[in-house]
Structure 1
């Protein structure tokens, strides 16, 4: 075997803006360091290890922009890519080749297209046009050059440095007449080939005044597609030693924890969502714990894709697995008018549709109040918030549940190779344009995938879209606000604000969120498990803002999926949900009141902060940031909880009177 780190066929893929590439490889995506896969030149397949399981040929290293959760192109995406190549360049030269997609940063769905170990371009969903585009790369231009006769500008030979330069018509030798202003084009100059953007129509390329072309990147051309067309079966065979190794490691993780003395007699439950990751974990668990009682959990939120519900039931029935299903029924629709559409930073739906049913399932499956052992398919590469998953974790939001994460280090390509290797049936949604499988109206879903809902299930789409349009109208927002997916945030991120400005879409609702308010929804009452509880409703504070400041009162845990922050204080526990619901649990009524009052003060502070900076001056350990992306007031882990910033806060000077009036029903 010959492993090369620098070769004409190796291309360092561009990092996301603002990310510094490190030389040392790390699989922790939270660091944004580059991830690596390999490519066997002879077999022409991707490798997940430095050695091919078939041959001793030359191996190439491919560096991927983080998180590096690379996967195989789905049939729908392959058809889409072929149509784009045909429409833009007149030919699809990829044929039956294996195509990989590496997710990168972008407005919406954005992925580098990798063929034969080469990054040939980017497949992206354009949020302005609400349609897919393909942006060819330098390597893609060199591969296509000679295969096609379209979208090409030939420049005269020059000693001028062309990369990143705009060129005038005097330098144009010829151009094809199928070029429109703004089109990506293949640029040729002598033995140099690269990619550029046309600034004029092709007919005017040789005569127009001023710059006519911007060259993005150009270099000596020596790249070609391989003559070998590999199959998925070839990829499986080449990666078989690696698949066996990671499969064995995952099963050992399951066995090691499930076989511990305190867990040996417990029933084992697999969290089965109908997605690819939970499918693999279910198969691994059945293999690891043969003869053990293994059941499947399914939290049916009531807003699942019909295909998902059908797949979960049919797969479990086919394999003889006991399925425990908890249904949220119409909980989402019953709460929709009160809360409005869920958002990435306002996931009230998770509390209503997941947390309640999950608790019911755990209570049902925990024998005599004991631990419920749950095997879960969460992976580090799915999101930055999941990058620090341990082999097993107690669930801070669902009592009595111990979660095991056996594939936490796997990438999507490993998951798919395992599925193909084991010949597992999988959710058909993956073949028709969905990278992830979840609720069909989830705000975390990409707009590209939401558009597929319109094609696949028009009646479901119409019901949800009709609500969104009605909701937007009530807020003084336009139909275009909904069409371009801006409903998916309470507070639009910079990329969406930029898009809105470009499209002339108003983003400020005429009816804004109410100012800060906190109201008791239940009195101080004994809890059946012991102690006291009190519940309140909070307005004017997001979970992200709460999590940024509550660290000063105790340790906090944030769940993006459930849309909540859990605060553990010496005298009690506080749960604050994105829906505005606040629940305090403590050993005594006095402690519950103390926790509620302390929490309410900090939430008021987060909502009303004027960024005066007094707290910065009184903090002895410099634990406070103001006006950051994390919130108006952010308290980091350096906080020693001395309370000096609370004592010196102008906002909280009259907080006792303000909060007393609110909590006693007086405004």
Structure 2
């Protein structure tokens, strides 16, 4: 996999295994340790068993209150008192449909706090050491089974030797079974338990003890922070200086703050802050405080109301359709920085490998996907954990965005679709007017497309084209068909219909909000490799003939795509859809363009001279421009889905009729 790629599954597991640093607990110092302990130099450290990638961070006062309340609600008050003995608590983000963090308290991994999107509240799942203590000391809800269960198995009530079960379904229960087996199960509506996880507890569980405070953490991390700082500054001085015009990207987040402080120590003070127009007030204020504290020469760039204007064309951004990054951030930023850069822009960023597989593979120096083909990103804290970042901020007394102390794990735009519902609840309470404006828009959008209220209330708006399995289950639980919601979103962009002509059946797509220039689209067909097979009629109709399948595709000037021909019934729906996408991508690039010029920055041959303006002679038909275009990429791809589904259904019906 090339640097900067994206991996999932087993590949992601292997990648994180390579970068994950072992995290220990020092019983003498009563503190988390990464590597060795600088305070007592003890060798006998106890390793904490954390999930990948192990990007541990401190829990703030708000987080500890959330954990305590979740423990009391899910397990019991005695469990909260026993498992949270005092001192610093630490969190390790784990994969979930919403917010979820493993909790390290008193030197033990006591379990996981999980935000339940159905209940809209935090729950607590005891795990490992925490689960063992709950059962052994009967700290709250627990169960003792008569036999060893299998993971995924349902255990009936009559199979419980001893139990104190919660009165409502869907809560987590720690249990024990013969043979030193412990586990975690979930209560069912009909009674009984569904076993989620089991393990054999072979070593004695230490008792939780009050952890050290922040000053102890800084003592334990002192040598580590000095080494990390030295390596980062040397990297900036020896490898980054001289590569071009170096500027620090200040975002108002914790990581960029540390990167900026390190850059100043390396003699780099030029910086910029980009305001997307949908930032939290706290973020803007923090960026200004960082610049003042560090003495940065910081340029301020603003996108103004670009987001709200583009919203009318693209609709709400989503996790699987983040047009906002390209239109609101990348393009305006590249344009604004151009006059400030004489050679090549090298941006010092707070990027860390623990944040995603893509960033983990990027390395300390990588090509910029934001500002131009020749530009670079320099990441001096690429190998730092989140706890390293916090410790450095505390040691250097750097400004910290207060949103972190209110429950935010990461800070971005206030309506970012990657936000978790737990964070959205914080934004709704703290910035009512800002959030009300966004929520009012979402409700208007939902009503115009016949979407149910849960699309807004339960955060389904954060996906446009497909839902993860957990959200599918949530929709059914709420009495709504998730497939119907997705169909309404797709049809709202390109309704499909079937018409009849002398050529037989014609499938048509009606492109909404697309006002394309036929001549431009004809030239842009070069980008998808269809221009040599197409012809432009005098009336502006673009015609592409697939002689092998006996199919004709016509894109009318009014934005109607027709797919006709005698070969429709025997043609491959997937092949036809692929050809339709190659026509629609240029149509969307021309007719739904917002002028972001991401296509220009991404073109490897320089053929894209301006937004949707291609030099046919230089174009290599690599389709890079169509993939990165927020209109020609995702919108064109999903506009064809209804056509592909209809063709597949018609072909299947024809086959069934033939068998009859």
**Residues 1:344 and 2:331 are matched in the alignment:** no
> Where does the alignment leave 5 or more consecutive residues of structure 1 unmatched?
1-15, 202-207, 525-536, 551-561, 576-580, 611-625, 633-667
Residue from 483, 493, 509 that aligns with 2:467: 493
In 2, the alpha carbon distance for the partners of 1:67 and 1:282 equals 25
Q: State the shift of 1:426 in Å.
A: 0.5
Residue from 300, 313, 338 that aligns with 1:325: 300
| 1:342–1:348 CA contact under 8 A, matched in 2 | yes
| 1:142–1:193 CA contact under 8 A, matched in 2 | no
Could you state the TM-score of these two structures normalised by the residue count of structure 1? 0.71
**SS of equivalent residue, structure 2 residue 299:** strand
1:113 aligns to what? 103
**SS of equivalent residue, structure 2 residue 45:** strand
Residue from 47, 56, 61 that aligns with 1:70: 56
Q: State the shift of 1:235 in Å.
A: 2.1
Q: State the shift of 1:84 in Å.
A: 1.5
**SS of equivalent residue, structure 1 residue 283:** helix
2:378 aligns to what? 404
In 1, the alpha carbon distance for the partners of 2:617 and 2:63 equals 59
1:441 aligns to what? 415
Superposition map of 1:534-553 within 5 A: none
1:9 aligns to what? none
Residue from 271, 275, 279 that aligns with 1:300: 275
**Residues 1:271 and 2:257 are matched in the alignment:** no
| 1:197–1:214 CA contact under 8 A, matched in 2 | yes
| 2:24–2:48 CA contact under 8 A, matched in 1 | yes
**Residues 1:316 and 2:291 are matched in the alignment:** yes
In 2, the alpha carbon distance for the partners of 1:597 and 1:350 equals 17
**SS of equivalent residue, structure 1 residue 387:** helix
Residue from 380, 401, 422 that aligns with 2:353: 380
Counterparts in 2 of 1:409 and 1:21: CA distance versus 1, 3 Å: closer
| 1:447–1:485 CA contact under 8 A, matched in 2 | yes
**SS of equivalent residue, structure 1 residue 133:** strand
Could you state the TM-score of these two structures normalised by the residue count of structure 2? 0.71
Residue from 133, 136, 160 that aligns with 1:143: 133
Q: State the shift of 1:150 in Å.
A: 2.8
Q: State the shift of 1:90 in Å.
A: 1.2
Cα displacement string for residues 328-348 of structure 1 (whole angstroms, at most 9, x for unaligned residues): 111111221222111122222
**SS of equivalent residue, structure 1 residue 450:** helix
Q: State the shift of 1:146 in Å.
A: 5.8
In 2, the alpha carbon distance for the partners of 1:475 and 1:75 equals 42
2:198 aligns to what? 217
1:233 aligns to what? 215
In 2, the alpha carbon distance for the partners of 1:102 and 1:211 equals 30
| 1:142–1:222 CA contact under 8 A, matched in 2 | no
Residue from 265, 288, 293 that aligns with 1:287: 265
1:40 aligns to what? 26
Counterparts in 2 of 1:387 and 1:122: CA distance versus 1, 3 Å: same
1:242 aligns to what? 224
Q: State the shift of 1:33 in Å.
A: 8.0
2:436 aligns to what? 462
Q: State the shift of 1:462 in Å.
A: 0.8
Superposition map of 1:515-526 within 5 A: 515=509, 520=516
Counterparts in 2 of 1:393 and 1:608: CA distance versus 1, 3 Å: same
In 2, the alpha carbon distance for the partners of 1:378 and 1:388 equals 11
2:530 aligns to what? none
In 1, the alpha carbon distance for the partners of 2:173 and 2:123 equals 14
**SS of equivalent residue, structure 1 residue 64:** coil
1:425 aligns to what? 399
**SS of equivalent residue, structure 1 residue 71:** strand
Cα displacement string for residues 132-153 of structure 1 (whole angstroms, at most 9, x for unaligned residues): 1111114212233465543233
Residue from 501, 512, 519 that aligns with 2:492: 512
| 2:171–2:186 CA contact under 8 A, matched in 1 | yes
| 1:389–1:405 CA contact under 8 A, matched in 2 | no
In 2, the alpha carbon distance for the partners of 1:512 and 1:384 equals 34
Q: State the shift of 1:475 in Å.
A: 0.9
Q: State the shift of 1:303 in Å.
A: 0.3
Q: State the shift of 1:370 in Å.
A: 2.1
| 1:584–1:596 CA contact under 8 A, matched in 2 | no
Q: State the shift of 1:409 in Å.
A: 1.8
Counterparts in 2 of 1:228 and 1:177: CA distance versus 1, 3 Å: closer
Counterparts in 2 of 1:335 and 1:568: CA distance versus 1, 3 Å: closer
2:545 aligns to what? none
Q: State the shift of 1:80 in Å.
A: 0.3
In 1, the alpha carbon distance for the partners of 2:50 and 2:67 equals 20
**SS of equivalent residue, structure 2 residue 211:** coil
Residue from 187, 190, 210 that aligns with 2:175: 187
| 1:101–1:112 CA contact under 8 A, matched in 2 | yes
**SS of equivalent residue, structure 1 residue 465:** helix
Counterparts in 2 of 1:351 and 1:124: CA distance versus 1, 3 Å: same
| 1:96–1:229 CA contact under 8 A, matched in 2 | yes
Residue from 476, 481, 501 that aligns with 2:450: 476
| 1:34–1:65 CA contact under 8 A, matched in 2 | no
Q: State the shift of 1:37 in Å.
A: 1.9
Counterparts in 2 of 1:392 and 1:183: CA distance versus 1, 3 Å: closer
Counterparts in 2 of 1:214 and 1:340: CA distance versus 1, 3 Å: closer
**Residues 1:453 and 2:427 are matched in the alignment:** yes
Counterparts in 2 of 1:549 and 1:176: CA distance versus 1, 3 Å: same
**SS of equivalent residue, structure 1 residue 58:** coil
**Residues 1:83 and 2:69 are matched in the alignment:** yes
Counterparts in 2 of 1:21 and 1:61: CA distance versus 1, 3 Å: farther
| 2:50–2:102 CA contact under 8 A, matched in 1 | no
Cα displacement string for residues 522-571 of structure 1 (whole angstroms, at most 9, x for unaligned residues): 977xxxxxxxxxxxx9999xxxx99x999xxxxxxxxxxx9967797775
Counterparts in 2 of 1:280 and 1:570: CA distance versus 1, 3 Å: closer
Cα displacement string for residues 298-319 of structure 1 (whole angstroms, at most 9, x for unaligned residues): 1001100011111112332344
| 1:108–1:448 CA contact under 8 A, matched in 2 | yes
Instruction: Compare the two structures and name the one with the higher helix fraction.
Output: 2
**Aligned Cα RMSD in Å?**
4.2
Cα displacement string for residues 372-416 of structure 1 (whole angstroms, at most 9, x for unaligned residues): 332111112111222222332343542464332111122212211
Residue from 253, 257, 279 that aligns with 2:239: 257
**SS of equivalent residue, structure 1 residue 403:** strand
In 1, the alpha carbon distance for the partners of 2:582 and 2:225 equals 44
**SS of equivalent residue, structure 1 residue 274:** coil
In 2, the alpha carbon distance for the partners of 1:329 and 1:57 equals 55
